[in-house]
Every structure is written in C-alpha cells, then in structure tokens.
Structure 1
Amino acid sequence: MNRRLARIRAVQALYQIEMTGIEWKLALQSSMDDEEEADDYLYDVIPGVLAVQPKIDEQIAGQLEHWALERVGNVDRAVLRLAVYEMQHREDIPVNVALNEAINTAKAFGGDEAGKFVNGVLSNLRKARGLGAKSEYDSEDH
C-alpha cells in the first residue's frame, strides 16, 4: 500500500472512530479493502493520533478564526488531526509533505474548499510553531 492510500485509510479510520467510538483496529480493518494489508505506518499513526488527540485538537482550535473545532466537518477534522500528528511526531515525513498530502486528501474528500480550509489551518499552525519550510500551496491562488 502506498503512503497516499495509507493516509486515506487512516483518515477513514479516524472518522469512523469519532462517529461510532469503535476500537481503532476494527476501524482500520473496516476502512480497508479485502485485498489490502495494513503497513507499519497505519499501526503508528492511528493510535498515535488518538494518544495525543486532546493536544492536537487544542492546537487546531488555536488556529481557527471565529470557529469552534466542533463546527469543523468530521472528515476535515480527521485530516487535520492526521496532518498535525505527522508534522509533529513523524520525523520521517517532512512538514511540507504532511501539509501538501493533507490538502490533497481534504480535496479528495471535500473538494477545493476543503483543501483551502485545511491549507489555511495547517499553514497557520506551521508558522505559529515554527515548523518546516513553505508549502507549494502557500499562496493566495490555492
């Protein structure tokens, strides 16, 4: 399984956990096609996000202007949580890669507006925390 597909499966599992309260391994299993096999990345990021989710949520909420985290769509919230985890806890993933992949994942699930929203939140968080280099999406055009 390539990393892009693994991110999609992670977002699907995180979404399902939030919506149903299902145990993470069951959520992962139900998000995957029968012929797919989970890799180490998935076994790290899903429980990793859950372990630090309150801290991640606090950081995301700090970047929302005139919004409460609860108003953010469930899929966008899952995308943001995964991206923040990657940006701060996965040294093997450059910050700009985590940010760009989150934008593309958000677009895949919610269209261009979702991508713009995720870009804004994560770019602000990256700047506020002094993380990584600029993203290819750091412009008014995206």
Structure 2
Amino acid sequence: MSRRNGRVLAFQAAFAWEISKTPLEELLQFSWVEAEKLERVGEAGLAFARLLLCGTLEHLPEIDAAIEANLARGDYSRVNRVDVAILRISVYALLYQKDIHPFITIDEAVCIAQDFSTDDSYKFVNAVLDNIRKSLPDGETGR
C-alpha cells in the first residue's frame, strides 16, 4: 500500500510543479500533506514518491515526447493538467522502472485518474499508457 500512496504523493507533487513551478526541494518535503497521512505512507512510500518525482522531472523532455507521440488525437497542450501529471509519473515508470510490471503501472494510473480527474479521464490515461507500453521492446507481453 505504501507504493500506491507514494504514487499519489508523486502525482500531487508533479501537478503542483506543473501549475506553480514550486521548487523541487520544497515539493520533496511534502509539506502540504498532513503528518498523520505521512506516517501512514511511511518512509518506503515517501522514498518511492521522491524517486518518481525526481525521475519524472529529470526525464521530462523524453516523457513528454512519448506522451505526445501516443495521443490518439489532439494537442498535448490541451490535455487536462491533472491527466498530464498522472501520465508523466506513469510514463517515467514505464520507461525507466524496469522492475515494475507495466500493467501495475497502468492500473495504478487508472485508479489515480478515477480518484482525482474527470469522469472519463481514466479511459484516456489507460489508452495513452497502453500505446506507450506496446511501443516498448517487450510491450505486447509485458516484461
């Protein structure tokens, strides 16, 4: 459960970064999160959230290019910013976290979209991530 909570924190931090360009050092403190929730997330969850956020921002040009290349239609600049944050942390995981099965990453992204975005966003997030998964060297079969 700590990884799921870590993904949610990473998504929230990525969204905050996108909207306000809050400095990374400030985001990594997760100061907006209640102390009780941070305790539930635990050190492992916080470490995972920090890894996702740092990796996402470090590889942002490649991540954004992968997202843009896999949009079925439309302009990347018009994608809901919540969905962008979900996609970014998830594409980072697909491209760079080879120890996490792609279907887990996609399932977690869909759950976050269902919880935090518009009613149909989860379908969009699923489609984009599945297209990216299929473009990976072992995409059709997972890893």
Contact 2:10 2:50 in 1 (8 A): no
1:126 paired residue among 101, 108, 133? 133
Give the secondary-structure state (helix, strand or coil) at the position aligned to 2:77.
helix
| Greater RCO, 1 or 2 (C-alpha within 8 Å, sep 6+) | 2
The one-letter amino acid paired with 1:33 is E
Native 8 Å contact 2:7 2:52 kept in 1: no
For 1:26 and 1:33, locate their aligned partners in 2 and report how far apart those are by CA, in whole Å.
15
Which residue of the other structure, out of 81, 90, 97, is the alignment partner of 1:83? Answer: 90
TM superposition score normalised by structure 1:
0.85
Identity %: 32
**Count of aligned pairs between the two proteins:** 134
Partner residue of 1:40 out of 10, 26, 47: 47
CA–CA separation in structure 1 for the residues paired with 2:90 and 2:33? 20
Deviation at 1:83, TM superposition (A): 0.7
Deviation, 1:12, is 0.4
Runs of 5+ consecutive residues of structure 1 not aligned to the other structure: 135-142
**What root-mean-square deviation, in Å, do the aligned CA atoms of Structure 1 and Structure 2 show?**
1.8
Task: Find the counterpart in structure 2 of residue 71 from structure 1.
Answer: 78
Cα shift at 1:92:
2.5
